[in-house]
Chain A
């Protein structure tokens, strides 16, 4: 079964600092999808990105960027010039294409950005 590890339980930074959230995954499948979700203090879960296992190109969206490295089984998320509104719990998740297993979420990383 697939597994997702987010080793950082909590991170605290000061506004405008860059911060990287780590995600390490385990899978035996060659075709799989990785996701990041954001859960702000208001509680809803917001989809951020999906990446398939055949696309190792880094993705940038504004201040957000994602670094996918199959060699280290990692899919890290970097926020550049963090803002208070970035404070949230961030979840990494994995789905395997050939498995009937459901999407597996990591435990989440709570990011606090202080003014």
Chain B
């Protein structure tokens, strides 16, 4: 079975540009999570969805970040405008339930110059 698929794997862009990260969860998983990982702050939950509905977005740093899940097989995390401090690895994960193991994608390594 295919795991969680994220794209792109790497993104390098200039400050001020819009960045869109994409995620395809495992089929049948009702929960989708977006995380950010940095050396300074570790693994942080940004937002999670249940059945395509955002449940908790309290981890989204600011209005420059937005996430959508238009259907059960696709989600996006958008940063507009991007800033150098947004540089991090962004992970998407999905699970069968909130208390079930989360299965992570390979991550997107984002560098904002």
Contact = CB atoms under 8 A, between A and B. Distances in A.
In the complex, which of the residues A50, A97, A103, A105 has the most CB atoms of chain B within 10 Å of its own CB atom? A103
A108 B44 CA distance: 12
B45 A47 contact: no
A35 interface: yes
Nearest to B33: A102
The main secondary structure of chain B at its interface with chain A is: strand
Interface residues of A, number: 18
Contacts of A46: 104
Given A102-B45, A102-B48, A44 B101 contact: no
Contact of A50 (B98, B101, B104): B101
A41 interface: no
Interface residues of B, number: 22
Contacts of A95: 98-99
A2 to B, nearest CB: 12
Nearest to B103: A47
A33 B99 contact: yes
B89 A108 contact: no
Contact of B101 (A35, A43, A97, A100): A35
Interface of B: 33, 42-43, 45, 48, 55-56, 59, 89, 91, 93, 98-107, 109
19 contacts: A35-B101, A43-B109, A44-B104, A44-B105, A44-B107, A45-B93, A45-B107, A46-B104, A47-B104, A91-B43, A95-B98, A97-B99, A100-B56, A102-B45, A102-B48, A102-B56, A103-B45, A108-B42, A108-B43
